[in-house]
Amino acid sequence: MPHMRAIILLLASIGVLGVAGCHDPKARAAQREVRVVAEVRALQSEAQRACLCERVRGAGSKKACWSKFETAITPKHADEEDSSCDPVYTISRSWSENGADRRVVIQYMALISPTEAILCTPAEAKAAEDAITTAGNNRAALEKADRLVFGIAHGQSFAKAPGTPHCG
- Tell me how many domains the chain contains: 1
Residue 161 maps to a domain: no
Which pLDDT value is given to residue 5?
Answer: 52
Among the ranges given (21-25, 44-48, 68-72, 163-167), the one the predictor scored with the smallest mean pLDDT: 21-25
The Cα–Cα gap between 120 and 33 comes to 26
- The upper half-sphere exposure of residue 76, i.e. CA atoms within 13 Å in the direction of its Cβ, equals 23
Residue 164 maps to a domain: no
Which pLDDT value is given to residue 7?
Answer: 47
Residue 122 maps to a domain: yes
Q: What is the mean pLDDT of the chain?
A: 88
Q: What CA–CA distances, in Å, run from 91 to 24, 41, 99?
A: 38, 16, 23
Residue 166 maps to a domain: no
Residue 61: DSSP 8-state = G
Task: Indicate the pLDDT class of residue 78, thresholds 50, 70 and 90.
Answer: very high
pLDDT (average), residues 48-52: 97
Which pLDDT value is given to residue 10?
Answer: 46
Contact 95, 79 (CB under 8 A): yes
Which pLDDT value is given to residue 119?
Answer: 96
Residue 91 maps to a domain: yes
Catalogue the long-range contacts made by 70-78 (C-beta closer than 8 Å, 24 or more residues apart): 72/42, 72/43, 72/46, 73/43, 73/104, 76/102, 78/104
pTM: 0.80
List the domain range (segments joined by +) for residue 140.
Answer: 2-153
With H, G, I as helix, E, B as strand and everything else as coil, classify residue 22: coil
